[in-house]
Amino acid sequence: MMKDKKYLLIPGPTPVPPRVVEAMSRPIIGHRSAEFQGVMERVTGKLKKIFQTENHVFVMGSSGTGALETAVVNLVSPGDKVLALSGGKFGERFAELAKLYGGEVIFEDFGWGYDIDLNVVKKQLDANPDIKVVLATQNETSTGVQNDIKALGKLVAQYDAVLAVDAVSGLGAIDLKTDEWNVDVVCSGSQKAFMLPPGLAFISVSDKAWAKIEKNTTPNYYFSLLKARKNIAKWNTTYTTPVSMVYGLDAALDMILEEGLDNVFARHALLAKATRAGIQGLGLELLVPDEYASLAVTAVQAPMVVDADTLRKVLLKEYGVTFAGGQDMMKGKIFRIAHMGYADKMDVIIALASLEMALGKCGYKAELGAGVREAQMVFVGGEHA
Amino acid sequence: MMKDKKYLLIPGPTPVPPRVVEAMSRPIIGHRSAEFQGVMERVTGKLKKIFQTENHVFVMGSSGTGALETAVVNLVSPGDKVLALSGGKFGERFAELAKLYGGEVIFEDFGWGYDIDLNVVKKQLDANPDIKVVLATQNETSTGVQNDIKALGKLVAQYDAVLAVDAVSGLGAIDLKTDEWNVDVVCSGSQKAFMLPPGLAFISVSDKAWAKIEKNTTPNYYFSLLKARKNIAKWNTTYTTPVSMVYGLDAALDMILEEGLDNVFARHALLAKATRAGIQGLGLELLVPDEYASLAVTAVQAPMVVDADTLRKVLLKEYGVTFAGGQDMMKGKIFRIAHMGYADKMDVIIALASLEMALGKCGYKAELGAGVREAQMVFVGGEHA
């Protein structure tokens, strides 16, 4: 095997296209220079198109978790009632943050691998009219569950509460109409569908959310949205922005907008469909049903006889392919195949072909080519030959 | 003028060497992969050499301000007495952070352009034996003042208080022997002497500091050092690390260690000396005396007849050269020339030659070549011809 020929198929960080690498290699300029302000203005305009919003989108130097913390420390004051909707590791993280900063958190756990039940949300909102913030995850990376943010937004909009959505691993891969769907705060990160290395986070804020933020009493500094807002007029960021990453972002946003946002979503849907068909063609079990399966990452239950992490080691060693493992309670039981960002049909083929061979080496007899063929069928849109 | 031929001479972000750009262009790998853990282990070992410490050095995805916030939210609990030593914008920032998170801050302002007076520090520590944290700035970027951290460390070590130093713009340019000088917490950032784009911060923590951190009650999450410590054993970072930046860091640290840390310090000292000689050769006034002048950045008082920011515009427009302006109360009154990181003799020549010409265009008659000649004299170590 060629040591350097690698295939990264994890739900972040994801591969970076050459065009973005090239942009990131430009000479550094001052982050307070007129030239960089021009870049920030241009990039923000494009980001707003991806966020499908007229709200301002802030660019931050942090991981996606930094964006979640930004949402919480600006929205949640000690004693505020928060409804946290969780179905996995990242839902839990959002809730943990709210609790840490003094929120009185109603933790609604739908279970790992399940989506949000809107009836439960409605019941909680009706029973607790003083809920100030609802926290939800668009794409639960730990399980490959995709929540119906449109319906959730419609529901929460009828209450005083603001809706903050962790869209770190979904935005740019899965449709999220921030304004039309009434999502007050949308958090995202660079290293998923945005096709950039980790290091940047993005957050949009609605007027309804600003009204709460202006009354917020939780101290914050690096993550302060009020400070950040003061600098919008000059297209400055409060602190030193990762300049090279912003150059890369500029190029990545061009790629997304040139392809067309709807085409990008359709590509992700196609890759998800093909991946799921291939997995089923191998006789393996998907973790979640089609109904709320993620378009960006697919979680697969390892066969009883195979430890998922051993399988992943074989995949890496023999074929240079990296899948993600299960986290926390799912460790060893599932593996996750990403199809997000700089991903296309052949990445799905690589995933399935290498998986078929690796399963054999781990003692599970999969028919070679069976998964690949199902994926091909999805791609050609035809019948079995 | 060639539009693309630019000379960035500001105290961060600083130019990035081709070798570092090349390293940053490598394909992305998973931040939890064995391969990346190997990179983190190697990089951390090299970072410890630059920090001159046996303490662990944490790598964070944030700007330098994020490292300052990390120091504060982990060390300062509400009601804790904090002695903040300030002589400019960044000293003020450290104090602001401590105040924001509930510290009872004794703010010792030595004035913009002045260094820390150790007698004052001693008096405060004697009068307030309950001071828990002393905050200081190694290299005050806003004024080009360099504080005597060795003497400060020796003093503070005699008390229960821990010493946290903002070395964001100084570390790697100016000597700071973390262990030998008893500096408990050292904060630094990637975009200064480390020759990287902005986006990474570094922080080292002594045992004396850990004892306080373990009792800390201020909530923190993204910036939590206790969480970060739990991940050291596996060479993991708590949240997704900027992978590409860490690759760049690896290469930049190699460059520093190959040159030799003492040689790097000597180079910065030489460039500072030549810059200062050149400025005086032009008849301009330096903001701070030699005694505590920064080796990384030189602040210059604009002549009475010249607005510093107009001068900077001419420099950029006519010669492609960027100096930093004055901040806050110093705006328009000073300009700052950086000589840090990927900087050598010809950068000083560029700074002085362009300055001489730009001054003329702004109505101040500087003898052309007079500053350059003084700098050359420093470089050749000889007498006037």
Residue of B nearest to A12 (CA): B30
Confidence bin at B4 (pLDDT 50/70/90): confident
Q: Mind listing the pLDDT tens digit for each residue in A117-136?
A: 999 999 999 999 999 999 99
Say whether the ipTM exceeds 0.95.
Answer: no
From the list A100, A197, A243, the residue facing B242 with the nearest CB is: A197
Mean pLDDT for chain B overall = 96
Residue of B nearest to A199 (CA): B242
Which among B10, B62, B312 is the top mutation candidate for probing chain A, defined by the most A β-carbons within 10 Å of its own β-carbon?
A: B62
Q: B-chain residues within 8 Å CB-CB of A314?
A: none
Rounded average pLDDT over A150-154: 98
Residue of A nearest to B18 (CA): A25
Nearby residues of B63 by Cβ (< 8 Å), 6 or more positions away:
A61, A222, A239, A240, A241, B189, B191, B198, B199, B201
Of A30-34, A84-88, A139-143, A197-201, which gets the smallest average pLDDT?
Answer: A30-34
Interface contact flag, B13 A240, Cβ < 8 Å = yes
Interface contact flag, A222 B66, Cβ < 8 Å = yes
Confidence bin at A10 (pLDDT 50/70/90): very high
Question: Is 80 exceeded by the pLDDT of residue A3?
Answer: no
pLDDT at A385 (0 to 100): 45
Nearest CA distance, A198 vs chain B (angstrom) = 4
Nearest CA distance, A331 vs chain B (angstrom) = 14
pLDDT at B1 (0 to 100): 67
Give binding residues of A as ranges. 336
Question: Is 80 exceeded by the pLDDT of residue A1?
Answer: no
Interface contact flag, B61 A61, Cβ < 8 Å = yes
Tokens at B332, concatenated: 């328009």
Interface contact flag, A244 B24, Cβ < 8 Å = yes
Mean pLDDT for chain A overall = 96
Interface contact flag, B199 A69, Cβ < 8 Å = no
Nearest CA distance, A201 vs chain B (angstrom) = 11
From the list B66, B102, B197, the residue facing A28 with the nearest CB is: B197
From the list A14, A28, A241, the residue facing B16 with the nearest CB is: A28
Interface contact flag, B62 A61, Cβ < 8 Å = yes
Residue of B nearest to A19 (CA): B25
Q: Mind listing the pLDDT tens digit for each residue in A356-377?
A: 999 999 999 999 999 999 999 9
Confidence bin at B382 (pLDDT 50/70/90): low
Q: Mind listing the pLDDT tens digit for each residue in A274-324?
A: 999 999 999 999 999 999 999 999 999 999 999 999 999 999 999 999 999
Coil, strand, or helix at residue B108? Answer: strand
Interface contact flag, A243 B27, Cβ < 8 Å = no
One-letter amino acid at A305 equals V
The residue ranges of DSSP E strands in chain B, in sequence order, are: 7-8, 56-60, 81-86, 104-109, 131-137, 139-140, 145-146, 162-166, 185-189, 201-205, 285-286, 297-301, 321-322, 324-325, 334-338
Coil, strand, or helix at residue B97? Answer: helix
pLDDT at A223 (0 to 100): 98
d(CA B124, CA B103): 16
Nearby residues of B148 by Cβ (< 8 Å), 6 or more positions away:
B115, B116, B118, B292
pLDDT at B150 (0 to 100): 98
pLDDT at A4 (0 to 100): 78
Question: Is 60 exceeded by the pLDDT of residue A384?
Answer: no
Question: Is 70 exceeded by the pLDDT of residue B55?
Answer: yes
Interface contact flag, A28 B14, Cβ < 8 Å = yes
d(CA B249, CA A160): 47
The residue ranges of DSSP E strands in chain A, in sequence order, are: 7-8, 56-60, 81-86, 104-109, 131-137, 139-140, 145-146, 162-166, 185-189, 201-205, 285-286, 297-301, 321-322, 324-325, 334-338
Nearest CA distance, A177 vs chain B (angstrom) = 26
pLDDT at A382 (0 to 100): 60
| Burial B246-262, CB ≥16 within 10 A → b, else e | bbbbbbbbbbbeeeeee
From the list B30, B199, B220, the residue facing A10 with the nearest CB is: B30
Rounded average pLDDT over B35-48: 97
Rounded average pLDDT over B126-150: 98
Q: Mind listing the pLDDT tens digit for each residue in A216-232?
A: 999 999 999 999 999 99
Structural domains in chain B plus CATH codes:
7-13+260-380 (3.90.1150.10), 18-258 (3.40.640.10)
DSSP result, A316-339: HHHH-EE-EE--GGGTTTEEEEE-
Nearest CA distance, A295 vs chain B (angstrom) = 20
Interface contact flag, B199 A244, Cβ < 8 Å = yes
